[in-house]
Chain A
Amino acid sequence: MRDGPAIEVRDLRKSYGDHDVLKGLDLEVRRGTMLALLGPNGAGKTTAVRILSTLLDFDSGVAKVAGYDVAAEGRAVRRAIGLTGQQTAVDGLLTGRENLVMMGKLQRLRGNAPRRAAELLDQFDLRDAADRQVKTYSGGMRRRLDLAISLLTSPSVLFLDEPTTGLDPRSRTQVWATVRELLSGGVTVLLTTQYLEEADQLADRVAVVDGGHVVAEGTPAELKHQVGAERLVLTFGGSDVVAVAADVLAEDSPNREDRTVSVPVAHAKDVRRILGRLADVGIEPDDLTVDKPTLDDVFLTLTGTHLGGK
């Protein structure tokens, strides 16, 4: 791996005929960190991953992975990366161990392949199923095997294209735990996801992608900040009370709805102050919650549509 960022993308463009998939994508991923590409279907996430993993040509722009030029030094890039695509790339007729050993041998691990396979089977909790044909595996087990295969050569950059799509919650949590472990081991990860929670949970930085370019980038916290502070949501018994409450809290720029009044809050003491004021006029809310902005809010604010195009 050469010096510089682990992944560097500048003004990357790709179109199929009239259809522009990437319209000047810019990304930079520092070593040992994870960037999540968050966006709906058709945003260009998978296209970007396929280009960066040398599976697909691009029209113009600069794409470097591990310091190597994707267009000119494809082989060096392939040596440096691991890829877990949307489809699980495993051989169902072979056992888990055979899959790993085969993929290891294809990447010149030679005599080390069986040892490395055994290590990964342990690490991914597949030891008991190691010698069963993969077609008998559950979706989660296949995913884990797939992930294990992409780690055979200890790549410095790992692409995870929607690695938990279609998994049950338990398997998803398992995959997350594994990815966290990898990050602590110094691997650079580019993850694509449609799940806010996934980006929020795992990524150091999030790039929100829509229509083939990045519409916002930052840490999950920064992005949430763009949308605004947390809000205290107060629920009242009747609309007359709501009106009074909104009146009392006028200088907090309240947002009034049918049964609720919400106001932005920055600190715990704001909550106390607001409840105090209401108590002064003899009003007690029936219920109160603090709403944190979600990445979906971020997405809605930035693009005007919900994630997944809803």
Chain B
Amino acid sequence: MSTIELSAKRGSSEWAGAAGNARVLIARSLRHILRSPEQLMLMLFLPIMMLLMFRYLFGGAINTGDVTYVNYVVAGIIAVSVTFNSTVASVAAATDMSEGIVERFRSMPMLSSTVLIGHVAASVVRNMVSIAVMIGVGFLVGFRPVAGVGAWLAAIGLLVLFAVAISWIAVLLGVLAKTPEGASGLSMPLVFIPYVGSAFVPPSTMPDGLRQFAENQPVSLVVDSVRALLMDLPLGNTAWLAVVWWVAILAVVVPVAGRVFRARSASPAA
């Protein structure tokens, strides 16, 4: 007993403790990926299915001007796969909320909302693996990016920011939903946001109103930026706008998620 108490007291600052806990909980969520077939399927096969579907089923009918459709659509499918993969984080967060494990964390001397960081980190990892798989398969079906190292890094950086923000939104929805089933429903609209944008078709063909929205909504900004960076198209200021948008979204969503987590987990057990 005494040795354990000693090492428990030796803990440095609260922040170092929180960082240590985040590491432990990230490891937990990463283990979950490897142990849940659904997560693996979604991560590995969904992007491939979508890519092949849009490349061969729909692609022939869509005119994207100077850029071949596969070169156009990869950025869009990346966006959809990020939103799709992130719904898993909603379900994971809701599962934790509905089972006793959050109560356990709250009864321990730790910052219990750190558990959300674990879900977000795992979600970002799933997203990155998914994107890598998709780009790999993309090469096999005619995707030919012409970006230099700097442009690749910029695109990857932007996608990481996007994935982090979408994952936080997904986790927030999961905490709000409280049951895994509810989370799955609540996070579904997330998946469709890229569709109302420049992911699969150029918005120039859309009716007014819808077109303005599709061109300027934050997911489209990411898609357009990534496409421009990888295909060496004129970038304009979409990349900066995308960064501003998603940093702003993060700045709102993270504290809200923490607050909702505390409120929800402290409410009486059903």
CB B177 to nearest CB in A, in angstroms, measures 18
Can you name 5 A-B pairs with beta carbons within 8 Å? A46-B269, A86-B269, A87-B103, A110-B7, A153-B5
Asked if B259 lies at the interface with its beta carbon under 8 angstroms from chain A, I say: no
Within 8 A of A (CB), among B23-68: 24-25, 27-28, 31-32, 35-36
Within 8 A of B (CB), among A112-142: 112, 116, 133
Q: How far is the CA of A54 from the CA of B268 in the complex (A)?
A: 13
Task: Please pick, from A16, A54, A86, A109, the residue contacting B4 in the complex, using a CB distance under 8 A.
Answer: A109
Task: Please pick, from A56, A110, A149, A153, the residue contacting B268 in the complex, using a CB distance under 8 A.
Answer: A56
Chain A residue total in the interface (Cβ 8 A): 39
Q: How far is the CA of A102 from the CA of B35 in the complex (A)?
A: 16
Q: How far is the CA of A112 from the CA of B8 in the complex (A)?
A: 10
Q: How far is the CA of A87 from the CA of B106 in the complex (A)?
A: 14
The chain B residues found within 8 Å of chain A, CB to CB, are 1, 3-5, 7-8, 10-11, 17, 20-21, 24-25, 27-28, 31-32, 35-36, 99-101, 103-110, 266, 268-269
How many CB-defined contacts (below 8 Å) exist between A and B? Answer: 92
Chain B residue at smallest Cβ distance from A53: B107
Task: Please pick, from A53, A54, A94, A154, the residue contacting B28 in the complex, using a CB distance under 8 A.
Answer: A94
Which residues of A sit under 8 angstroms from B17, Cβ to Cβ? 108
CB A271 to nearest CB in B, in angstroms, measures 50
The answer on a CB contact under 8 Å between A108 and B100 is no
The answer on a CB contact under 8 Å between B24 and A106 is yes
Known: A78-B109, A89-B101, A103-B104. 6 other contacts (CB 8 A): A78-B107, A83-B103, A88-B100, A93-B32, A98-B31, A106-B105
Those 8 A-B pairs whose CB atoms lie nearest each other, nearest first: A87-B100, A89-B100, A89-B104, A83-B107, A78-B109, A154-B1, A105-B24, A93-B35
Asked if A215 lies at the interface with its beta carbon under 8 angstroms from chain B, I say: no
Chain B residue at smallest Cβ distance from A110: B7
The answer on a CB contact under 8 Å between B110 and A106 is yes
Asked whether A102 and B24 contact (CB < 8 A) given A54-B107, A93-B31, A154-B1, the answer is yes
Which residues of A sit under 8 angstroms from B27, Cβ to Cβ? 102
Within 8 A of B (CB), among A73-113: 75, 78-79, 81, 83, 85-91, 93-94, 98, 102-103, 105-112
The answer on a CB contact under 8 Å between B103 and A112 is no
Asked if A306 lies at the interface with its beta carbon under 8 angstroms from chain B, I say: no
Asked if A247 lies at the interface with its beta carbon under 8 angstroms from chain B, I say: no
The answer on a CB contact under 8 Å between A112 and B108 is no
Which residues of B sit under 8 angstroms from A116, Cβ to Cβ? 4
Asked whether A112 and B101 contact (CB < 8 A) given A79-B8, A106-B24, the answer is no
